[in-house]
Amino acid sequence: MAKPILETKGITVKIRSQLKLDPKKIPAHVAIIMDGNRRWAAKHGLGPVDGHCQAAQEAIEPLIKAAIGLGIKYLTLWAWSTENWRRDKIEVNGIMKLFSNGLKDNLERFQKMGVRLNYLGDLSRFSKAISRRVLNLVKKSKENKVITVTFALNYGGRDEILRAVKRLIKTGRKVSEIDENLFASCLDTAGMPDPDLVIRTGGANRLSGFLPWQAVYSEFYFTPVLMPDFTPGKLKKAIASFQKRERRFGGGSFSVYRKNKG
């Protein structure tokens, strides 16, 4: 029987997996490209929005609880891209309704878990009601410190960089003053650490424009598991893979290769 890993504010977190992780090597920031909802729905003979509903209602909260139990401090979830607006109108409208209801109904549960909510992306394309609810969740949860959960909404990597450039221009800084730190402060992720681990569900082996600046030294984990089936155990498996890797960030000593030769 699985033992509870953490009990926080009355919530017991369980991860049903026999994998053993090194608590000293838990990634501080895990980002997930949530892919495969539509294929999951088609596989189960359901409609275009049902896979998104399954992921939102059955997958996301257990993953947040699992992340808390593992000691992950930042969890970023790509929920809607700048390209997703091209989908069929019935699917777009259904997802907007799902967003609206989810934003309205989940604040109390997130508060109890100690979740600080955040968002990436351009909210201007959403309805005023959805934008207000996102900003309200961010405001009301800003003092929570257990974990920061960020939803990427109407997010695209190129769009983020273009918006960052425009913000930078507005600062009036001289070219000689511009460095990586200044530019990073103009990105949507300002104040957040770069992701240590980027996971993509659904089988595709690409980032599709997700966090192109921030993910330059992230470790990637691609899985064929569709997002509605991506359980806490699957998250733990991804972190186990992460822990086997050696991260040098472009540095490291040649002596490491001598030790590992052959």
- Contact indicator for 199, 223 with CB cutoff of 8 Å: yes
154 is catalytic: no
Sign of CA dihedral 96, 141, 214, 252: negative
Tokens of 16: 């049903």
Catalytic residue among 22, 37, 84, 154: 84
Catalytic site includes residue 205: no
The radius of gyration of the chain's CA atoms, rounded to the nearest angstrom, is 19
Complete DSSP assignment for 214-233: TTTT-EEEE--S-GGG--HH
φ, ψ of residue 28 in degrees (nearest 5) = -70, -35
Query: Of 22, 35, 154, 260, which is the active-site residue?
Result: 35
Q: Which residues contact 196 (CB under 8 A, 6 or more apart)?
A: 27, 28, 29, 30, 218, 219, 242
- Residues whose CB falls within 8 Å of the CB of residue 42, separated by 6 or more in sequence, listed in order: 51
Token couple for 151 = 């939803």
Active site residues: 35, 84
